[in-house]
Structure 1
Amino acid sequence: MAMKATVTVFLFLSLFGLNNSLYRKHYYVNENKQWSDAQQYCRTNHDDLSTVSNEELQPLSDNAQATGDYFLFGLRREANDQRWRWTGGEEATDVMWDQGEPYRYDGKEKCVAVKKSASKVHDKFCTSTYPFYCMEVFELIVVQQENTWEEALEYCRQNYIDLAGLSSDVIMKEAEDKSTPALTEDVWIGLRFIAGHWFWVNGEGLGYKVWSADGELQCPAMDQRCGVYNVKKKVWKTADCEKRLNFLCVKTAG
């Protein structure tokens, strides 16, 4: 069975000429596969082999679960096409090739892999086997109905994926854009205080923080143990979980 580890690296897909309200999440699969088999695995279990910007190469290479010297991602060229393309069909015009790459070996090396030690791209035979990264693509949606935090959580999980976890600058920017139509100044997000700590209900870590001037309350009052995103000030605040507010859900793109 393939072993996979999530890497939280979110960047706007506008880097590739796609809708700039989308973001993606990468999953490292620690099993050696040929490029086509890796793509089939990703399309079955996620969305596709990962589209990776130059800015993402280093953090993906630094992933502690990534083993071996190389990993595959979603870039290749067809037999009669000299252009390198992502799995979605977009031409890759800015690839961080390593020195002497692409080597191509008489044009036969049509797939690519990242060399971990250099965080740069090498062309490879498509029959070569390496671990790989899959991706899933997401977006936020504001729900213009006034619910308690628990009701908002239930609604998001029944109709989309979850209450939004704003765990990066990119997702915070999307929250700013997507919350504009909100009818309440604060909107619920998936931030909750239980058993002595704040956490995201989707399981993401809380390393990234954008609290209001009041800061992260270490022992909030019983009526201040849910988190909101303040549309006007663009920060997180604590709130009474029984308040009725609009809320942000996360959903799959498309």
Structure 2
Amino acid sequence: MAMKATATVFLFLSLFGLNTGLYRKHYYVDERKQWSSAQQYCQTHHDDLSTVSNEFQELQRLSDNSQVTGDYWIGLHSDAYSRLWKWTGGEDATDVKWDRGEPDTYWHEQCGKVEKSSSKVHDAYCSGSLPFYCMEVFELIVVKQENTWEEALEYCRQNYIDLASLSSDVIMKEAEDKSTALTDDVWIGLRFIAGHWFWLNGEGLDYKVWSAGGELQCPAMDQRCGVYDVKKKVWKPADCEQRLNFLCVKTVG
């Protein structure tokens, strides 16, 4: 069955209550499935059903996705006897953004869904059919060797996934926290080809943190690779043949 990942949202991730330096990427799947089937789908195509922090704005961002038209599953479930709620990764769900009166006293409502209208969590019968969010968990890796952009790209793809795309404020913040590079600039997965800048993973450039005059519409031939300026915390064009440290991204799972 073809995967229908119709939207992605970036959120910060803290596993087991610790700041792990990870972040997660959520995929909305517009197929109606029972909770267990949705989890199986997510584990096949991604990592698992989505874990969501208790911050209301994170649930709000998932619900505000234009593809979402109603309630949806997340990776929250409970034991039928203890009624202890957990995330699919195994961590206790001790501070869930429950709606008023939730979870209620119906013991067989063992799965968590989010109501689009309120962006708050309800317990529900797992046999219900809803669309859902899957997640993948990622980490930025600083590679402290000095390579050209092409060499850095090859290294990341051989050892991790790719050069990093700093495509949200969350990932930019993580890049700031990872700023232990030995060079002032580090390669990222930003490239100018065929008249435009783009991220290697195909994500859009709606989020931008260019240096002053950095997003050149027609950069010189030796200024067509993107770097992250560690000190100024901006992107800028650079000569692809420079030898710099670089940021890779890897999956965690």
Judge same fold: TM > 0.5, yes or no. Answer: yes
- Structure 1 window deviating more from structure 2 (206-215 vs 222-231): it is 206-215
Give the equivalent residue in structure 2 for 1:96.
97
Q: CA deviation at 1:247?
A: 0.7
Give the equivalent residue in structure 2 for 1:55.
57
Q: How many residues align?
A: 251
SS of the equivalent of 1:41 reads helix
Q: CA deviation at 1:197?
A: 1.3
SS of the equivalent of 2:42 reads helix
Amino acid at match of 1:125: Y
Q: CA deviation at 1:19?
A: 4.2
Give the equivalent residue in structure 2 for 1:114.
114
Q: CA deviation at 1:92?
A: 1.8
CA distance in 1, matches of 2:11, 2:20: 9
Give the equivalent residue in structure 1 for 2:231.
232
CA distance in 2, matches of 1:178, 1:120: 33
Alignment deviations for residues 67-118 of structure 1 (CA, whole Å, 9 cap, x no partner) = 4x2110101111122222111222223222223322342x111111111122
CA distance in 1, matches of 2:248, 2:133: 25
CA distance in 2, matches of 1:6, 1:224: 34
- Does the CA-based 8 Å contact 1:179-1:248 persist in structure 2? no
Q: CA deviation at 1:151?
A: 1.4
- Does the CA-based 8 Å contact 2:6-2:28 persist in structure 1? yes
Q: CA deviation at 1:60?
A: 1.3
Give the equivalent residue in structure 2 for 1:84.
85
SS of the equivalent of 1:63 reads coil
Gaps of 5+ in 1: none
Give the equivalent residue in structure 2 for 1:128.
128
- Structure 1 window deviating more from structure 2 (240-249 vs 18-27): it is 18-27
Give the equivalent residue in structure 1 for 2:153.
153
SS of the equivalent of 1:128 reads coil
Alignment deviations for residues 32-77 of structure 1 (CA, whole Å, 9 cap, x no partner) = 211112111111221111001232212211222234x211010111
Higher strand share: 2
CA distance in 1, matches of 2:197, 2:105: 50
SS of the equivalent of 2:133 reads strand
Gaps of 5+ in 2: none
CA distance in 2, matches of 1:235, 1:66: 33
- Using the aligned pairs only, state the percent identity: 78
Runs of 4+ in 1 over 3 A off after TM superposition: none
TM-score of the superposed pair, with normalisation by structure 2: 0.92
